């Protein structure tokens, strides 16, 4: 049988996932010493790790070329998909927030508010839930620039410590939702490789409990 293939989001989530896999007895030295390789066998070779960008993790799982994936809830909320969300891994914690200039009342006035965000779908869903009419502008880089340049009234972005906001004269107006890394599964893989996936999930859950 071919290896169970897990797509990991490159960077910090990759490192945290590797630490978790090590904790449950799956040796991940090949990932730590990967060089330029992007597909790496781990443990006894029955599992294969694929390193990818966050949005691509979802694409690979959706299309079934990877059985499982580790990706942030932020990417899941923005991209969506037909996969199953199996487990909150408990690391990569941050939050989605609405933020704006500290010297302005965002809710004052009746004009249509302009919102800048790297996550237009998340922003749209949030304001739709509040029955607010807004115009959303997608920004790829430092979204904090938009209100400083007068392009937007506020931003929707990921906030970890709030330091970047504070240093740019911005503050959180509202927390939209909490975010952390999730284990996702391809729907067909979940049926065809049920025993393998359930065993891995069970071991991950036990390791999480031991960390508390």
Hey, what are 96's tokens?
A: 């989605």
Kindly state whether residues 18 and 38 are assigned to the same domain: yes
Into how many domains does the chain fold? 2
- High-pLDDT (> 70) share of the chain, %: 100
In this structure, the answer to whether residues 79 and 118 fall within a common structural domain is: no
Q: Are both 86 and 107 inside the same structural domain?
A: no
56 and 28 fall within a common domain? yes
**Do 83 and 98 have their domain in common?**
no
The contacts of residue 114 (CB under 8 Å, 6+ apart) are 134, 135, 136, 137, 151, 152, 153
pLDDT for residue 38: 95
11 and 110 in a single domain? The answer is no
Please tell me the least confidently modeled range out of 101-110, 135-144, 148-157, 159-168.
Answer: 101-110
Q: Which tokens in the block code for residue 180?
A: 């952390």
How sure is the predictor about 127, in pLDDT bands with cuts at 50, 70 and 90? very high
Q: Please give the residue range of the domain that contains residue 203.
A: 4-92+180-211
- Return the CATH number at 144: 3.40.190.10
Residues 133 and 72 in one domain: no
Contact 67, 4 (CB under 8 A): yes
- Over residues 91-123, the pLDDT tens digits come to 999 999 999 999 989 988 888 999 999 999 999
| Residues 168, 203 within the same domain | no
- 170 and 186 fall within a common domain: no
My answer on whether 10 and 60 are in the same domain is: yes
DSSP state of 93: -
Residues 85 and 186 in one domain: yes
Contact 4, 68 (CB under 8 A): yes
Please indicate, yes or no, whether residues 12 and 41 belong to a single structural domain of this protein.
yes
The answer to whether 12 and 92 have CB atoms below 8 angstroms apart is yes
Q: What value does the mean pLDDT take over residues 22-43?
A: 94
Q: Retrieve residue 65's tokens.
A: 């070329």
């Amino acid at each position: 049988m071919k290896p169970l293939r897990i797509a990991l989001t490159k960077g910090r989530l990759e490192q945290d996932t590797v630490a978790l896999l090590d904790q449950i007895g799956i040796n991940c030295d090949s990932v730590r010493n990967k060089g330029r390789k992007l597909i790496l066998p781990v443990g006894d070779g029955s599992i294969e790790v694929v390193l990818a960008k966050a949005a691509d993790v979802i694409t690979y799982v959706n299309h079934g070329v990877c059985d499982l994936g580790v990706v942030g809830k932020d990417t899941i909320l923005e991209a969506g998909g037909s996969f199953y969300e199996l487990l909150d891994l408990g690391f990569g914690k941050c939050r989605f927030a609405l933020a704006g200039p500290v010297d302005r009342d965002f809710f004052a006035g009746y004009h249509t508010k302009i919102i800048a965000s790297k996550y237009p779908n998340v922003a749209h869903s949030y304001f739709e839930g509040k029955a607010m009419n807004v115009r959303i502008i997608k920004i790829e880089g430092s979204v904090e620039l938009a209100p400083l340049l007068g392009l937007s009234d506020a931003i929707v972005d990921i906030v970890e410590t709030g330091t970047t906001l504070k240093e740019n004269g911005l503050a959180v107006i509202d927390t939209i939702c909490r975010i952390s890394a999730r284990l996702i599964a391809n729907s067909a893989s979940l049926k065809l490789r049920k025993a393998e996936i359930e065993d891995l999930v069970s071991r991950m859950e036990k390791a999480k409990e031991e960390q508390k």
